[in-house]
Amino acid sequence: MNVAIIGYGKMGKEIEKVLVERGHKVVLTIDVDNSYLLDCKENMKGVDVAIEFTSPATAYDNIKRCLMCGVPTLSGSTGWIEQKNEIDTLCGNLNGAFFYSSNYSLGVNVLFRLNRWLAKVMAQLPQYEVKIEETHHVHKLDAPSGTAWTLATEMESASDGKLHVERGDIISYREGEVPGIHTVTYESEEDTLSISHSAKSRRGLALGAVLAAEWLVGRKGVFGMDDFLAI
Ligand SMILES: NC(=O)c1ccc[n+]([C@@H]2O[C@H](COP(=O)([O-])OP(=O)(O)OC[C@H]3O[C@@H](n4cnc5c(N)ncnc54)[C@H](O)[C@@H]3O)[C@@H](O)[C@H]2O)c1
């Protein structure tokens, strides 16, 4: 694939490594200094997929511009989820292709599945109180993390609203260079039950994003990891 990387930061660089290893070509690299290139369709000619990892403040605009250029777009930027419906609608109107996940780790996506299943069970056991905790490196701009936000939202829908965690009550720790730990804990007077995922590095996130981008090329519509993993 010919790939445009939008956001050449920690994730953009890790994704580039995985792309090269898998025989793909990075034909365009965009960061703050040259982001104006996204305004011109001509610059995106020959790009099979754009992979966007920038920031909460810039993701919406970048994704919009990539889709307007007619390029299938995958984003992993977090902290802009309130505007996702608008992007989904735009993608539909343009008959484009958009893929989004707040976390591209394969293990975290299994955690999402466990979380939904567990929420259904625990909704019937009111003696348990639920809490969500996440730990990330000190450079992370948004809190709570997009992944913690997804855990809370999916827990609520899987339990038909019986379980609820206020987004402001999600516990966020920022420590050193921690790649990402997410834990959902149910606690009663008698015991504690937790499900947890701890990333060892950013590589798992980059690999998941590249595999999802390979899957996206040739498809039309709005997709997420459940579509890709078919779980
Ligand atoms: N979905 C996932 O699996 C996942 C994994 C890790 C990080 N993230 C998210 O991805 C985003 C990036 O993370 P990171 O660790 O690479 O951050 P980073 O700060 O290391 O890199 C972000 C890069 O984007 C650039 N940028 C900022 N505004 C831009 C613009 N308008 N156009 C082009 N480039 C611009 C910055 O200059 C920087 O180089 C964050 O929102 C983070 O939370 C998601």
Residue 181 CA to ligand 1 center (angstroms) comes to: 18
Describe the crossing of helices 203-216 and 106-122 by its angle, rounded to 10 degrees.
90
Residue closest to 30 by CA, chosen among 42, 12, 56: 12
Condensed to tens digits (0 to 9), the pLDDT of residues 64-89 reads 999 999 999 999 999 899 999 999 99
Spell out the domain ranges in the chain: 2-104+203-229, 106-198
DSSP codes of every residue in 85-152 = HHHHHHHHHTT-EEEE-S---HHHHHHHHHHHHHHHHHTT-TT-EEEEEEEE-TT--SSS-HHHHHHH
Provide the 3-class DSSP secondary structure of residue 177.
coil
User: Parallel, antiparallel, or unpaired for β 221-223 and 192-198?
Assistant: unpaired
What does CATH list as the number for 2-104+203-229?
A: 3.40.50.720
- Give yes or no: 136 in active site: yes
The answer to whether the beta carbons of residues 63 and 7 sit under 8 Å apart is: no
Q: What is the pLDDT of residue 40?
A: 84
Q: What per-residue confidence (pLDDT) applies to 231?
A: 62
pLDDT at residue number 29? 98
Residue 94, classified by CB atoms within 10 Å of its CB into exposed (0-12), middle (13-18) or buried (19+), is middle
Mean pLDDT by 10 residues, the chain (231 residues): 97 98 98 94 95 97 97 95 96 98 93 97 98 96 92 97 96 96 98 97 95 98 94 62
Give the CA-trace dihedral at 11, 12, 17, 22, to 10 degrees. 100
Q: Which residue type, as a one-letter code, is found at position 15?
A: I
Give yes or no: 139 in active site: no
Residue range 106-198, CATH number: 3.30.360.10
Tell me, what's the pLDDT at 24? 98
CA of 225 to the centre of ligand 1 (A): 19
Which ligand 1 atom is at minimum distance from the Cα of 54?
A: 24
Question: Is there an atom of ligand 1 within 6 Å of 115 CB?
Answer: no
